[in-house]
Chain A
Amino acid sequence: METKPSNGSPAKFVDQLVVPGDVILDLSTMAEQTIKLGGGLRQDCDAISVIKAGILRFSKPNKYWVESSQKRYVPCAEDSVLGIVVDCKPDNFLVDIKGPSVAFLPVLAFEGGTRRNIPRFEAGTLIYVRVVKANPGMNPELSCVDATGKAAQYGALKEGLMFECSTGLSRMLLSSPTCPVLETLGKKLPFEIAVGLNGRVWVMFFCCILFVTSVNLWDSVWT
């Protein structure tokens, strides 16, 4: 019979691969403290167990979550994603962000947006947006302004090429310090890139080179 895990045991699991069913924390052995659980973890009375396979991450002071890579995107607040406009309603644009349901982008959620200067997005327009609210069971709400109210690069993306990838690859392209692929490519050719955490990437080169090939190679090696 295994002995009860001591206080230090969550450190044993952090940054390790965990599978559904692993118990990473036993609350009955811990003192009174607040612990924040992100995605992939569930509380069963006193035990925190894993419900999604992936790498367990910890961020100070008290947040745990499981990071995994898949083609499906689960909308989360404050994520920057690439959406495709599906329809226009009087109050909202309906935008597909590769999630379980279509998301709503209010027509006034733009910098300096009023009823008189509503942008005209046709069905099929690619837009870079921020997820404002993503409650389970409700359609996510989006915005083209950041938290302070400025436009900050959000909006429609014209020309260029959009391709889909896994969520793990998107996170890797966005990680800091800058991803080596982007750095080496940038030294040779100037380009613009927008990475959505929902597994969509948009690039625009100022001359024709097959960027897609190199990224597909990267994708198959790392995910």
Chain B
Amino acid sequence: MPEEGEKEEMVTPGEVLGKAADLKAGKGAYVAPYRSSEIPYVFSSLTGLRHTLTPPSDSPDQRPTVEVIGHKARGAVPEAGSVVIARVTKVMAKTASADIMCVGTKSVREKFTGVIRQQDVRATEIDKVDMHLSFRPGDIVRAVVLSLGDARAYYLSTAKNELGVVSANSTAGETMVPISWMEMQCPLTRQIEQRKVAKVGS
């Protein structure tokens, strides 16, 4: 049921949304000259529903913003500053790779890779960190996204008390119990293994 003033129409990439003199381009739209003429128009760059946002009354530019919300993008996407849950896939000398599984409370639809560098594991004595004593392949960690990183992976950080390994299995295969911020213990064999443990609870 369309609300008054809003047109819920489906647009495709390249479709004209209006003149640039009348509209500002928001998310999913861009400004380009119309064919060979010099007049700029606003075009859509995604397939989805078109939304018009009214500008705040105190801004000098009173043009409404038009944006296109892609109808397929429903899964969560990690942004800088969001807390994610990831599973460690590979531990190397100076970095650990992890597959991001949840962003906040929503699970992701497609695979995102994150990398935890040696200097981002904890806040103190960052050059003495041993990656093998902080993470192992298969651990579930809670981390915060530092930035979008490079083309291959997001940069993650566990340098806070509440970030780090949340759940891990011992070499005997049993889920371990955390006993301090550095150690976890296997309930079957009583062996202690070292991890960068997250502080859970208040």
Contacts and interface: CB of A to CB of B under 8 A. Distances in A.
B116 to A, nearest CB: 14
B91 A138 contact: yes
A141 interface: yes
B89 to A, nearest CB: 10
B93 A138 contact: yes
Main SS of chain B's interface residues? loop
A138 B135 CA distance: 11
Interface string B92-123: 11000000000000000000000000000000
A45 interface: yes
Contacts of A45: 188-189
Given A43-B189, A43-B191, A45-B189, A138 B172 contact: no
B136 interface: yes
B160 interface: no
Contacts of B188: 45
Interface size range of chain A in the complex? 10 to 19
B51 interface: no
Contacts of B136: 137
B19 interface: no
Contacts, number: 23
A135 B132 contact: yes
B40 interface: no
A104 interface: yes
A116 to B, nearest CB: 23
A138 to B, nearest CB: 6
A135 to B, nearest CB: 5
Contacts of B132: 133, 135, 138
Q: Which of A45, A133, A138 has the most CB of B within 10 A?
A: A138
Contact of B91 (A44, A104, A137, A141): A137
A68 interface: no
B70 interface: no
Interface string B2-46: 000000000000000000000000000000000000000000000
Interface in B151-195: 172, 188-189, 191
Nearest to B132: A135
B104 to A, nearest CB: 29
A139 B93 CA distance: 8
Interface of A: 43-45, 104, 133, 135, 137-139, 141
> 9 smallest A-B Cβ distances: which pairs?
A135-B132, A43-B189, A137-B137, A45-B188, A138-B91, A138-B132, A138-B92, A137-B91, A141-B93
Given A43-B172, A137-B91, 8 more contacts: A43-B189, A43-B191, A44-B189, A45-B188, A133-B132, A138-B132, A139-B92, A141-B93
